[in-house]
């Protein structure tokens, strides 16, 4: 019997043996909601001082700071968490995962729906606000829950979490390839835009000339005419400096807040002018590779096809056997790989805290040499200690390279190849969510594999019973023939 006479329940529409349907019943949704509930608690705002008038003149009072019950009700936490899981598990954007959710009954069952709804669950912008409200600790909680499910379903042994492989990669930012010409043209356009917004009238904006100079610089670079290209870039630099001086002269009469905003824009333009002039970072500050994402860093990983990548370094930790990710975090500043090991193991230890286990042995490459004293509780195994390793440890060290295809899957199948989230916080959130999406896909594969193994065992048992029955029948028939022969001879 159904509660709605005109609709069937989702559990009557889908195959409950589907891996995603099985995972929906195994995920600790109540624990997830309880751990994230404190982030949605409404904060009581302090009273605000206001000025008012009465019959006797001006009076001051305090506005009420109590919580208002007005506004739209909050969406279910399970729905939003499930959308984040599905987005990174199936490599969808915010818009595509919401659209596909309205067309897939299995996804709706995973999200906690009882009946099929052919509509969008929410606006795509709400998913972004929910992700920002979660914060780094919230998304790490989502990653930790996937590890708990893997252990509780006995898809991986608990002791396997004590041996991990650690490596680093680059999570690229969604920015254009930085060139001096593009950055200077962007600086010119931003200075003009901010000046017009502040009400400053400029003598000349150089819009047409700036566009033509950018095209010229690209053509000269393609033709390898670098002397002409440098002349064009010098002209672009001159234009940006002229606009800087003009805006600096006319901004003194503006309000303090407007002056601060213009000063920030002029400072970024000055950084670009100086770094294109000297080819080096100035004032002990890193180079600026993108106007809208100043946190982007240039990282060289020694790849012949792609020598430089623009983004942030990300550390990953996965089990030595089983390929389950147990840690992922970003490291701004492009630190040495070995200096990130302590923080990486610390994160994995916190995520495994509810399982009662922590990493004890780390298998890494030569980038993690020389940090044994900084990690006294961890056994670090790498190729540089070949003479001190046993034959068993040498054999296990060959498993270290298994993390390389995992990194490839994270980038190709779970959206780590390009981060579209804003700022350093967006880099941290995106790295952990990609790892959580990989673990969800890993759970689906292992559930399907475990179900197939049980099916094969049942088939083997049935075949064995049939063979035994057939063999018994043959033996019984043979004995009966011998008995008949004896009676005939007797």
Question: For the chain, which domains are there?
Answer: 155-175+295-420 (3.30.420), 180-278 (no CATH)
Could you tell me the pTM of the whole model? Answer: 0.85
Please say whether the beta carbons of 413 and 91 come within 8 A: yes
Continuous segment of H or E residues that includes residue 359: none
* Interior/surface letters 371-386, b for 16+ CB within 10 angstroms, e for the rest: beeebeebebbbeeee
CA angle 227, 232, 235 (to 5 degrees): 130
Upper half-sphere CA count for residue 303 (Cβ side, 13 Å): 10
CA angle 5, 26, 453 (to 5 degrees): 110
Q: How do beta strands 361-363 and 379-381 pair?
A: parallel
Token pair 């900084």: residue? 374
Q: What is the pLDDT along the chain (490 residues), one digit of tens a residue?
A: 456 767 888 988 999 889 999 999 999 999 999 999 888 766 555 556 666 655 556 666 655 555 556 577 889 999 999 999 999 999 999 999 999 999 999 999 999 999 999 999 999 999 999 999 999 999 999 999 999 999 999 999 999 999 999 999 999 999 999 999 999 999 999 999 999 999 999 999 999 999 999 999 999 999 999 999 999 999 999 999 999 999 999 988 888 888 999 999 999 999 999 999 887 766 778 899 999 999 999 999 888 888 999 999 999 999 999 999 999 999 999 999 999 999 999 999 999 999 999 999 999 999 999 999 999 999 999 999 888 999 999 999 999 999 999 999 999 999 999 999 999 999 999 999 999 999 999 999 999 988 755 444 544 555 565 655 665 666 665 555 555 555 455 5
Closest CA to 205 of 246, 165, 173: 246
Please say whether the beta carbons of 85 and 430 come within 8 A: no
Query: How many Å apart are CA 145 and CA 30, to the nearest integer?
Result: 11
């Amino acid at each position: 019997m159904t509660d709605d006479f005109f609709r069937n329940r989702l559990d009557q529409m889908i195959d409950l043996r589907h891996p995603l349907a099985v995972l929906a019943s195994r995920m600790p949704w109540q624990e997830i909601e309880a751990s994230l509930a404190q982030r949605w608690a409404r904060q009581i705002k302090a009273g605000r001082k206001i000025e008012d008038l009465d019959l006797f003149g001006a009076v001051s009072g305090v506005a009420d700071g109590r919580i208002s019950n007005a506004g739209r009700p909050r969406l279910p936490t399970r729905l939003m968490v499930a959308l984040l899981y599905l987005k990174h598990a199936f490599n969808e954007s915010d818009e595509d995962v919401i659209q596909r959710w309205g067309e897939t009954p299995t996804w709706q069952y995973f999200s906690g729906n009882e009946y099929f709804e052919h509509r969008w669950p929410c606006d795509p912008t709400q998913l972004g606000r929910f992700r920002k409200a979660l914060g780094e600790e919230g998304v790490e909680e989502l990653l930790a829950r996937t590890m708990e499910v893997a252990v509780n379903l006995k898809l991986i042994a608990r002791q396997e979490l004590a041996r991990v492989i650690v490596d680093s990669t680059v999570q690229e930012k969604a920015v254009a390839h930085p060139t001096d010409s593009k950055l200077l043209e962007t600086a010119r356009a931003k200075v003009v835009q901010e000046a017009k917004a502040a009400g400053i009238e400029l003598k000349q904006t150089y819009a047409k000339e700036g566009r033509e100079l950018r095209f010229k610089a690209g053509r000269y670079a393609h033709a390898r005419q670098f002397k002409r290209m440098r002349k064009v870039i010098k002209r672009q630099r001159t234009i940006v400096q002229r606009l800087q001086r003009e805006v600096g002269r006319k901004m003194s009469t503006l309000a303090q807040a407007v002056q601060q905003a213009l000063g920030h824009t002029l400072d970024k333009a000055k950084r670009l002018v100086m770094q294109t002039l000297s080819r080096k970072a100035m004032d002990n500050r890193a180079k600026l590779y993108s106007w809208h994402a100043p946190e982007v860093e240039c990282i060289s990983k020694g790849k012949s096809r792609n020598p430089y990548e623009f983004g942030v370094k990300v550390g990953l930790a996965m089990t030595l056997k089983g390929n389950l990710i147990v840690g992922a975090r970003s490291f701004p500043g492009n630190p040495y790989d070995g200096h990130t090991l302590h923080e990486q193991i610390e994160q994995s230890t916190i995520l495994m805290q509810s399982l009662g286990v922590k990493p004890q042995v780390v298998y890494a490459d030569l980038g993690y040499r020389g940090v044994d004293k900084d990690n006294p509780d961890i056994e670090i195994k790498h190729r540089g200690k070949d003479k001190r390793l046993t034959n068993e440890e040498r054999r296990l060290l060959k498993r270290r390279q298994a993390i390389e295809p995992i990194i490839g899957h994270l980038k190709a199948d779970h959206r780590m190849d390009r981060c579209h989230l804003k700022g350093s916080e967006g880099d941290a959130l995106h790295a952990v969510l990609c790892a959580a999406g990989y673990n969800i896909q890993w759970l689906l594969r292992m559930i399907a594999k475990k179900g197939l193994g049980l099916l094969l065992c049942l088939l083997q048992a049935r075949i064995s019973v049939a063979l035994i029955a057939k063999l018994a029948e043959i033996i019984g028939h043979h004995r009966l023939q011998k008995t008949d022969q004896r009676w005939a001879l007797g």
